[in-house]
Amino acid sequence: MKKEKEKLKPTAGRLGVITPENRHLLPVEVQDILGKLERHELVSPKYPIALKDHLKRRTRERLQENPNLHLKEVVLLSVQSLPDWLPPALVKDAVAWVVEEWESCTQNQKALSATEA
């Protein structure tokens, strides 16, 4: 019975562990991609989405704690929290997301104060 189970285990398609010692065995294109990933020139496609959600949530939290924060302060706090390896294009996008959320929150605050008055 045990031998039957062993026969059923698939062997094709298994991935080995990539190490510096066996990296040269991979195609050149794969080696280039792995190098870019290590140097953080490439990021996961999910990372910008998660970063955007995180920055917008933190911006809302900061404005709830202190509604009088200026845009410059919110942007500086957000940029300081970003990792150093982040590509410049993603830093630019991050600043745009924070500005967008700050504008949205301040407009909502103004609308609420206008309806209360």
Segment 54-72 mean pLDDT: 95
Judged against a pLDDT cut of 70, whether residue 17 lies above it is answered with: yes
Asked which of 10-14, 59-63, 70-74, 92-96 is least confident by mean pLDDT, the reply is 10-14
Task: Return the percentage of the chain with pLDDT > 70, whole number.
Answer: 86
Rounded Cα distance between 15 and 72, Å, is: 48
Residue type, 62: R
Pair of tokens at residue 37: 């990933």
Q: Calculate helix-pair angle for 46-65, 88-116, nearest 10 degrees.
A: 40
With contact defined as beta carbons under 8 Å apart, do 95 and 79 qualify? yes
Judged against a pLDDT cut of 60, whether residue 113 lies above it is answered with: yes
Judged against a pLDDT cut of 80, whether residue 14 lies above it is answered with: no
**Hey, where are the domains in the chain?**
46-116
Report the mean per-residue pLDDT for the chain: 86
